Structure 1
């Protein structure tokens, strides 16, 4: 398990890379620190975690009260949203936005990730660390690996098997495929914990077993087998769509890097990220990840401070002449889907030629 994601708050007043161009980030970091935006927000997180916990407990209380009823499908929808919100809280915990202590963050993350929603906190943290270090880098960012979808023309050119088949029409398949993301998180978690190199694998595996026993036990004790299966499929599908829609607007369709292309820390984070406009409702629904540029520059900045950091970062980027992209939520998805469709164009052309 990686100990922390990218950079701790205490390190973010320093240039992460050094060098003349890297000093651009150091100057921005001083402005952010002077504005007090790296300070913890314990009151905010107490309320947020309290509300999410109450929703989780309340949702399951309604589940047990309803019993063997098809109205449970409404509970499945509600709990899918709650599970996604717990995932967003786990994200903040992993970045040490909530607690200063690494140990406190890890314990809370294991409870939120492994026990509550059945996702390996350690596996996800390692994966997300690599993403933050090299966003949209084809060789280093696991979020743009061509496992199912293709993210660049170069990936499309050498694609084989399922990615090549799906790649032709992947823009149309994107949202349907997100219904499988919840299942994928569980499978990937188990696969990661089967590797001997995974840290704390016994603890994490035990907690995942606890989650599975409680979750599946509740479904099949309270519901008939048919209703239990339908509840499970609907709940996990909506959970996956919600999480996928939370992360999709942030980087998809933004510049990609490969090989040994060199770019300093500030530009690497800003140029590969997209902010999503929307106000407090969007902030809540997307867990603050709509301020993706600010989050990538200062990953341990508490979520509610990202809104206040946004004008400082945007103005600074204008001073430097660095492109800073902010879109509406519909436009952000449209840009991502257009990019996916463009990547698949050569594959469609080959199919048409062969036909």
Structure 2
């Protein structure tokens, strides 16, 4: 736990006023009216306000010293970075073809009379997988028990998805047996939806947006927001896996006494979530024409600009022979070579 930065003087306005009033009998016994209507008290409050401002600036010194001490051991302040946020896009209707949300798509808050719109742009292309083979995702009116006959913690129901549904809004349209999950609390069923993510995380939880089935007790929809997914082979099937797992709460009250059953299942992608940052893209801005003067500079019309991302931001120059040459930013030219 980091140490709290101490204040050189922790007094505030009222503390200074009270301290000054306590000193009045010591220096001026004739002054007996200490009410706020007294002109002398007015002067005390005026000087207390000025002193409070000075103490505020004095207490900023430890922060400056703290930064300087960090610089002595090689720790530097990072440059300002744009705010980032995940934005979820929803399809307004079923689409016959794939719909791609291109990078640099702008989204904004509502502009009001007192505040301008805050604009965010998407950082990458995103294509929600909206085309499904319903012959594979439907159960064709077969009755399938979701869990074993005596459900216990850790039991799970698995769905194999052919395509990558990372960061998707998935709708599971279920036809369940009425009150099939006897014993469970429909408002708080002991289940957790997860996707296979691989690595040290293995199974990552999904965000449950809505469960209209009451824990598989009535027909309805379950809306999930999936995190990043990874492909894996289970039981000889190579797919992207989604599962519904019984949690440890299954061992307590409000647990399933028998397994609920499905008569029909359909999987739909209703949208997806993509990362955005608080910035806009400026296209085809002309900086000016160089006249060959050493140290010539050009100013941008739109500032400030984001720090360069080596994976995304680079300069490409077309050589006289028509080849594209990629330039790389360096801190200095000490390591330059003749062919650079």
TM-score of the superposed pair, with normalisation by structure 1: 0.21
Larger relative helix fraction = 1
Structure of larger gyration radius? 2
Q: Which has the higher contact order (CA 8 A, sep 6+)?
A: 1
